[in-house]
Amino acid sequence: MPTPSGTVPQEQRTAGAAGPSALARLPSLTGLRFVAICVVFASHAALFGALRTGRDYSVLYPLGALGVSLFFILSGFVLTYSARSGDTAPAFWRRRFVKIYPAHLVAWTAVMLLIWAGNVPRVPPGSAPPLSHDLANLFLVNTVAPGWWSVDGGNGVAWSLVCELFFYALFPVLLPLVRRIRPEWLVAGAVAAVAAAWLVPLLALGLGGAATGSPLGADLSVDQLFYAYFWPVGRLPEFVLGMVLARLAVHRPRTRVGIVPSAALVVAVLAAGPHVLSSVFLLTAVTVVPLALLIRATAAADLNATRSLLRSPQAVFLGDISYAFYLLHFTAFMALYHYLPQSWPNALLVVLVFVLGQLAAWLLHARVEVPGMRRFAVSRARRRAAAPSSAAGHP
């Protein structure tokens, strides 16, 4: 999951807040967002393909957890790297809410219309959550607490936004604490965050209960799945790790591990993890270090002006609309797999969902995200206060 904070905000890229060079604004991290959503997309394509064809695509299911973890670490990195001096907590919270909620509201409405008016079945088939689950998803409170959490209502992928809102709420408190870490202690801070990310599933391992049969791990109990994957508090170490990595990027812009070796390490731990670890560790912990290295290497490519395909205009554009694509792609799968003939090849349906989903994401980004930020990200009082100083600079 993924959220819009996985990149340097567009206004920061134009303002050059991070330095005089355009590369100091880290456009490759925007491109990395597109990679993250592609990973999540592949996981859901495997899920729908299995439902449609009966074939076993479970080897791809862990990619969804990988993509969400990448988004969470990116979120902490970019919010810290692009933090504004003199910013206030209310102003920050307003910008983040305006950035994520209007698009979420549109996506939630779309999936509800498909289900209620279009008779599109929910996924997994046969699920019939109560209205309260749909409303909890609408108001982004559906994974706040144990006992009544749900991910079967509304737009299922929006559960990650509950985590993001929790991160945003704490960010004004966490940022001064992270900034107080002395440069020589930043590596130790990153190690501590990684240790916390491993501690969460370690504690969850002791929780019993019947297995859920979830695609994320068939042997996981309900409590293990909630505390290790869906609970915002349990995901906080990844966000804090991203914050510490942002400070490391400033104080130690060079890294010994490049993008390709970091990506190879991600693949290696995904392949080896199921053979040596319980499923509860495969949700997030096993990939935390490789993803941290990947983000650090991607940022270093821009800071050191080395080659990076992720900063191409195409990759940056796709990264800009990746949040909208994340919100819409699962709904696109539901609609097309329901309405299109069963005889169509599954591979063709995946391509159609990807292409049409990208088009819908561009429209959502251009017509909702961008106008909403321009109109509501700054309060009227702040705009009026800024108007006289702006006018004074232009005789």
**pLDDT of 390 higher than 90:** no
**pLDDT of 395 higher than 80:** no
Is the distance from CB of 4 to CB of 74 less than 8 angstroms? Answer: no
For range 58-80, the mean pLDDT: 97
* pLDDT tens for each residue of 182-237: 999 999 999 999 999 999 999 999 998 888 888 888 889 999 999 999 999 999 99
Coil vs helix vs strand at 344: coil
* pLDDT tens for each residue of 264-310: 999 999 999 999 999 999 999 999 999 999 999 999 999 999 999 99
The reported pLDDT for the residue numbered 17 is: 36
pLDDT band at 1 (very low <50, low <70, confident <90, very high): low
Coil vs helix vs strand at 312: coil
Pick the more confident residue, 388 or 370. Answer: 370
* pLDDT tens for each residue of 77-101: 999 999 988 899 999 999 999 999 9
Question: Which string of DSSP letters, residue by residue, matches 121-166?
Answer: PPSSTT----HHHHHHHHTT-TTSSTTS--SSSSSGGGHHHHHHHH
**pLDDT of 114 higher than 80:** yes
- Of 296, 268, 274, nearest to 70 by C-alpha is 296
How far does CA 227 lie from the centroid of its chain?
18
* pLDDT tens for each residue of 321-341: 999 999 999 999 999 999 999
Main-chain phi, psi angles of 211, to 5 degrees: -70, 145
Could you state, in order of their start, the residue ranges of all structural domains in the chain?
A: 10-392
**What is the DSSP secondary structure assignment for residue 83, as one 8-state letter?**
P
